[in-house]
């Protein structure tokens, strides 16, 4: 995955455990600043090694760490240079999710080699969404659950997210929520 994802992982580990913990992780994996270049594409296997090492240090399972990272990513992207594109993507949970492909299309235009996911809203009723996630990658269900939870947090919504169906290249998520107030 793009180095920008590795950078977000580093920031999460920094915030939770401090710089020493990240440096120890880099040493263990024999990586350094070269593996953290925002605009470079790295093998997904390296990204998953970083997640696994971070999980061990955070005392989480890999799935729990992917979830935490998904949640973190929404906060990470909500700050700094990515914050305006996040703002334009939507002002509430339903509209944000329906515009996610547009967000990835916009960032993907400047990121050759990015393999971006696709999200479709199959049902949109008050307090209820059914969202289809499609990807050519496998194994990111917990990451997507964390991202969706992060989006609920962003819009101060409360509720439950469940997996309705797992296909070969897609997962259906059922989101039941209440907006703030
Ligand atoms: C400004 C905000 C965002 C940027 C810049 C961004 C950019 C990216 C990039 C660069 C990748 C990796 C592609 C690759 O290396 O092949 C990616 C993957 C992904 N993004 Fe985003 N993204 C953003 C927000 C979001 C949000 C809010 C979600 C919430 C659902 C999301 C869901 C995903 C997922 C699930 C993947 C994994 C790719 C896969 O499933 O194959 N992204 N994104």
Q: What is the pLDDT of residues 91-117, one digit of tens each?
A: 999 999 999 999 999 999 989 999 999
Nearest Cα residue to atom 36 of ligand 1: 117
Whole-angstrom Cα Rg for the chain: 16
* In contact, 3 and 43? CB cutoff 8 Å: no
Task: Please check the confidence at residue 181 and state whether its pLDDT lies above 90.
Answer: no
Task: Please check the confidence at residue 180 and state whether its pLDDT lies above 80.
Answer: no
Residue 125 has a pLDDT of 97
Q: Ligand 1: which residues within 6 Å by Cβ? A: 1-2, 4-5, 41, 74, 77, 82, 85-86, 100, 103-104, 107, 111, 114-117, 135, 137, 140, 143-144, 147
DSSP 1: -
Residue 87 has a pLDDT of 97
- Closest ligand 1 atom, CA of 82? 1
Domain ranges of the chain: 3-59, 80-178
Nearest Cα residue to atom 10 of ligand 1: 2
Band of the pLDDT at 144, cuts 50, 70, 90?
very high
**Mutational test site, ligand 1, from 117, 163, 166, max ligand atoms within 8 Å of CB:** 117
Nearest Cα residue to atom 30 of ligand 1: 147
**pLDDT tens, position by position, 41-56:** 999 999 999 999 999 9
Q: What is the mean pLDDT of the chain?
A: 96
pLDDT, mean of residues 78-94: 96
Ligand 1 centroid to Cα of residue 178, in Å, is: 25
How is domain 80-178 classified at the CATH fold level?
H-NOX domain (3.90.1520)
Rounded Cα distance between 128 and 115, Å, is 28
- Closest ligand 1 atom, CA of 4? 10
Token reading at 66: 């992917």
pLDDT, mean of residues 8-27: 97
How far is the CA of 120 from the CAs of 7, 45, 92, 107, 116, in angstroms? 28, 27, 16, 18, 13
């Amino acid at each position: 995955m793009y180095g920008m994802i590795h950078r977000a992982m580093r920031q999460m580990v920094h915030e939770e455990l401090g710089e020493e913990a990240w440096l120890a992780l880099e040493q263990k994996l024999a990586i350094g600043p070269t593996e953290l270049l925002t605009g470079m594409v790295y093998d997904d296997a390296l990204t998953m090694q970083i997640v696994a090492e971070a999980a061990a240090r955070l005392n989480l399972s890999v799935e729990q760490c992917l979830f935490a990272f998904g949640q973190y990513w929404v906060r990470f992207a909500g700050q700094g240079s990515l914050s305006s594109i996040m703002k334009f993507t939507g002002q509430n949970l339903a509209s944000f999710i329906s515009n996610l492909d547009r967000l990835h299309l916009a960032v993907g235009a400047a990121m050759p080699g990015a393999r971006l996911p696709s999200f479709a809203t199959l049902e949109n009723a008050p307090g209820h969404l059914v969202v289809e996630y499609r990807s050519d990658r496998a194994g990111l269900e917990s990451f997507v659950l964390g991202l969706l939870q992060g989006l609920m947090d962003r819009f101060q919504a409360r509720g439950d997210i469940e997996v309705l169906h797992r296909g070969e290249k897609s997962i259906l998520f059922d989101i039941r929520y209440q907006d703030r107030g």
